[in-house]
Amino acid sequence: MAEQIKVLLTEKEVDDRIQELGDQISKDYAGKEVHLICILKGGSFFMCELAKRITVPVSFDFMSVSSYGGDTKSSGVVRIVKDLDESIQGKDVIVIEDIVDSGRTLSYLLEMLHDRGPKSLRLCTLLDKPSRRVIQVPVDYTGFQIPDEFVVGYGLDYDQKYRNLPYIGVVEFV
């Protein structure tokens, strides 16, 4: 089965919204330093663009968590593939995610990070699919709410393909 990509959000729409998120985070953290935790691999494009637009001091680290494999639906089994390199104790932390779907992975991850003693812990996602939520997670900063479609681009992939698209697209199987 072949696939084709239909544009859902243009590069300009994504860029403009990331600027707005950067402005809001800069305002919310005025006078503080913020520590970003990027969830790999999908969150990397978003975090890089967002970090450039945050005007307060920024530090960051990376985690890799797997729950999809080569499928279009989460398996529900969360594996920590790469953990943080440094402690987050006492830091103002924002977890940067590409998409919030069922909430299973992020619920597990946020609970684990909370137990590590950050001063504050918030979640920022480029895309949110609230209709797919199985476990509620507090999303503090949302780029776009999207319908229940399988999306790619801007770091999101289908079986490791399409991450490099500069827009958000919907995978259509033909």
Please give the pLDDT value at position 78.
Answer: 75
Q: Quote the CA–CA distance of 20 and 10 in Å, as a whole number.
A: 16
Query: Would you say 25 and 58 are in contact if contact means Cβ atoms under 8 Å apart?
Result: no
User: Of the residues 101, 128, 140, 157, which is catalytic?
Assistant: 101
Q: Is the peptide bond before 52 cis (omega within 30 degrees of 0)?
A: no
Please give the pLDDT value at position 110.
Answer: 95
Q: pLDDT class for 11, splitting at 50, 70, 90? A: very high
Other C-beta atoms lying within 10 Å of the C-beta of residue 41: 17
Please give the pLDDT value at position 159.
Answer: 86
Radius of gyration for the alpha carbons in the chain, expressed in angstroms and rounded = 16
Across the range 136-140, mean pLDDT stands at 93
Active site residue 101: yes
Its pTM stands at: 0.91
Q: Quote the CA–CA distance of 92 and 119 in Å, as a whole number.
A: 5
Query: Would you say 90 and 118 are in contact if contact means Cβ atoms under 8 Å apart?
Result: yes
Please give the pLDDT value at position 76.
Answer: 59
Q: pLDDT class for 77, splitting at 50, 70, 90? A: low
Alpha helices in the chain (DSSP H): 11-28, 43-52, 104-114
When the pLDDT of each residue in the chain is averaged and rounded to a whole number, the result is 92
